[in-house]
């Protein structure tokens, strides 16, 4: 079931796992904060955690927490955390846990009450399973969230990006924009491939993140959020 449309929260998905969703999410959160908005991050499901003295910790979750305008309870912004670095549905099954979309909606409601904008980062790609019957696409639709797509710029990205965008739109979600991420510094004709996607994807290009290495989240990269913010402002008045 598609949830009630939200205009002050957004879902970040990617063309695959390892394409830089967290890097781009942090940059988006930084840009929103620079625009004078209070921002919180949410990672509904995180697999590949480490066991610490205070429980399970996930690198992506910690990055979102560090980029937020202020701190909130970790369990609020990351309701489901699993130890093994595997597909979320397999990690949840191994832990004997069922991902409850109603619980995720209630956690998102609480985050939205505390700030201007919530950025929700998915796991894996658009169709990554979260249960035996549901995917990240179902999660985004259940939360009623428009989508920003992260495209990992490497050989094969044209097909992956166009298929993902088609699936997002066909499923009834709004595609707000896309960000290219130069995950392969040796990619041939990267600029030409980016131009091809800019001409074919049904949403604006918000920016391209250069290959930045391990310190990508600290880089001074500017993304154009004007179409994103305009959509949010218009939605809040509707």
d(CA 221, CA 98): 38
pLDDT at residue number 141:
95
Average pLDDT, the chain: 88
Residue 151 has pLDDT above 60, yes or no: yes
Closest to 178 in 3D by CA, of 158, 198, 150: 150
Cα radius of gyration rounded to whole Å, the chain: 17
d(CA 177, CA 223): 11
Residue 232 has pLDDT above 90, yes or no: no
Element housing 109 (H / E) = helix 101-114
Closest to 63 in 3D by CA, of 121, 129, 128, 131: 121
Q: Which two tokens stand for residue 63?
A: 């990055």
d(CA 46, CA 44): 7
Residue indicated by tokens 């309701």: 79
The answer to whether the beta carbons of residues 42 and 4 sit under 8 Å apart is: no
Q: Crossing angle, helix 190-200 and helix 157-170, to 10 degrees?
A: 20
d(CA 227, CA 205): 9
Question: Residue 11, by phi and psi: left (phi above 0), alpha (psi -120 to 50) or beta?
Answer: beta
Q: Is the pTM of this model over 0.75?
A: yes
pLDDT at residue number 236:
39
Residue 7 has pLDDT above 80, yes or no: no
- Spell out the domains of the chain, with CATH numbers in brackets: 9-237 (3.40.50.300)
**Each residue's pLDDT tens digit, 67-122:** 999 999 999 999 999 988 899 899 999 999 999 999 999 999 999 999 999 999 99
d(CA 221, CA 147): 21
Residue 157 has pLDDT above 60, yes or no: yes
d(CA 132, CA 62): 28
**pLDDT confidence of 6, banded at 50, 70, 90?**
very low
Average pLDDT over residues 24-52: 92
**Each residue's pLDDT tens digit, 165-224:** 999 999 999 999 999 999 999 999 999 999 999 999 999 999 999 887 655 555 677 788
pLDDT at residue number 178:
96
pLDDT at residue number 54:
76
Q: Quick one: what percent of the chain has pLDDT higher than 70?
A: 89
pLDDT at residue number 112:
95
pLDDT at residue number 8:
87
Q: In sequence order, which residues have a C-beta less than 8 Å from that of residue 30 and are 6 or more positions away?
A: 67
Which positions are catalytic? Answer: 43
């Amino acid at each position: 079931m598609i949830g009630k449309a939200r205009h002050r929260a957004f879902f970040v998905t990617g063309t695959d796992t390892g394409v830089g969703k967290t890097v781009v999410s942090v940059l988006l959160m930084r840009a929103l904060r620079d625009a004078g908005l209070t921002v919180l991050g949410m990672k509904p499901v995180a697999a590949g955690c480490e066991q610490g003295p205070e429980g399970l910790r996930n690198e992506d979750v910690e990055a979102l927490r560090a980029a937020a305008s202020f701190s909130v309870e970790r369990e609020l912004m990351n309701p489901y955390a699993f130890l093994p670095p595997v597909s979320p549905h397999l990690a949840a099954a191994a832990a004997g846990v069922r991902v409850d979309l109603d619980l995720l909606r209630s956690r998102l409601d609480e985050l939205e009450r505390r700030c201007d904008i919530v950025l929700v980062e998915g796991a894996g790609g658009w169709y990554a399973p979260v249960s035996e019957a549901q995917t990240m696409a179902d999660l985004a639709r259940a939360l009623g969230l428009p989508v920003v797509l992260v495209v990992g710029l490497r050989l094969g990205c044209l097909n992956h990006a166009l298929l993902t965008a088609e699936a997002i739109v066909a499923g009834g979600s709004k595609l707000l924009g896309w960000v290219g991420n130069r995950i392969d510094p040796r990619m041939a004709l990267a600029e030409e491939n980016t131009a091809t996607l800019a001409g074919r994807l049904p949403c604006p290009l918000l920016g391209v993140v250069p290959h930045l290495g391990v310190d990508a989240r600290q880089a001074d990269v500017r993304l154009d959020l004007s179409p994103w913010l305009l959509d949010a402002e218009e939605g809040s008045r509707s």
